[in-house]
Amino acid sequence: MAECGTLYLVATPIGNLEDMTFRAIRVLKEADLIAAEDTRGSIKLLNHFDIHTPMTSYHEYNKVAKAKSLVEKMLAGQTIACVTDAGTPGISDPGEVLVQMALEAGIRTVPVPGACAAVNALISSGQPTRRFCFEAFLPPEKKERDAVLEELKEETRTIVLYEAPHRLERTLQILLETLGDRSISLCRELTKKHEEIRKTTIAAALSACRETEPRGEYVLVIEGRDRRELIASRQEAVRSELTLEEHMRRYEESGMDRKEAMKAVAKDRGLTKREVYSLLLQSGSDSEE
């Protein structure tokens, strides 16, 4: 039986061809087959680097059926390199399904790192980089988009989004309405001639967008919500929703003893345990120990 092949996930440039790595060129040259999202687009890249490996298309609309046949080829010993239009396969691009099916079949998957718009936008955005979340494109369908935005409202990490120029204005409007005005970096045309990193606010970005029609590819890097402000607003919500006694009862009914419930209530309401205790005493719902 032939030895099992390997699946290489090969990152390609997001604009500047100089970002192609030596390793990416070698892996693409040595592979038996290249699975490309857009064969017509990738041929230009392959020609530029003198790569003559045969190509087959692997995209959003054939990803399941095609992944099955690619897995069979790898099981028969072929080495396959997956590339997308630009950047890193699997990041808002096909790749995920093929990787899952390859691993299930016992095939080795190997990343060949390189450009990725999200990471390069983040590092040049001037927004905090230690903790971040990547949401890719906001869903086009309203119900799904609202659900994502509801989660993003409470997100304290830096938020990274992809967006197309013709939807930028609408997206900024939605972000302003749901997240409020806050710092945003618009990272445009990364690694290309008209590369631009603009750190501004959502409201200012929206008015700029209304004045000049956006062009090119964008990554939006948005400041996360202030953690202390989030905790304070949660405490406020609890305070306005429940009386102290109701709040205590909620914890006690969940299995906490009186002392544990007091500690939890104190934390939620931004009080000390002693303050909770004396308020309960005043209201007559607790007796002196």
CA distance 217 to 211: 18
CA distance 108 to 104: 10
CB closer to ligand SAM out of 168 and 265: 168
Residues 94-133 that bind ligand SAM (CB under 6 A): 116-118
Identified binder of ligand SAM from the candidate list 8, 42, 82, 87, rule CB under 6 A: 87
Mark the segment that binds ligand SAM (CB under 6 A) among 22-30, 58-66, 148-156, 182-190.
182-190
Residue 13: CB minimum distance to ligand SAM, A: 9
Position 167: which residue type?
R
Identified binder of ligand SAM from the candidate list 8, 58, 218, 277, rule CB under 6 A: 218
Q: What is the largest CA-CA distance in the chain?
A: 85
Identified binder of ligand SAM from the candidate list 169, 189, 245, 252, rule CB under 6 A: 189
Number of CB atoms found within 10 A of residue 213's CB: 10
CA distance 155 to 229: 12
Mark the segment that binds ligand SAM (CB under 6 A) among 168-176, 186-194, 227-235, 279-287.
186-194
Mark the segment that binds ligand SAM (CB under 6 A) among 54-62, 97-105, 157-165, 222-230.
157-165
Q: Is 237 exposed, middle or buried (0-12, 13-18, 19+ CB in 10 A)?
A: exposed
By CB under 6 A, residue 191 contacts ligand SAM: yes
CB-facing half-sphere around the CA of 248: CA atoms within 13 A: 16
Are 102 and 35 a contacting pair, CB within 8 Å? no
Number of residues that bind ligand SAM (CB under 6 A): 24
By CB under 6 A, residue 251 contacts ligand SAM: no
**In this structure, what are the phi and psi dihedrals at residue 130, rounded to the nearest 5 degrees?**
-65, -40
Residue with nearest beta carbon to ligand SAM: 87
- Which residue ranges make up the site for ligand SAM (CB under 6 A)? 14-15, 84, 86-88, 91-93, 116-118, 162-164, 187-192, 217-219
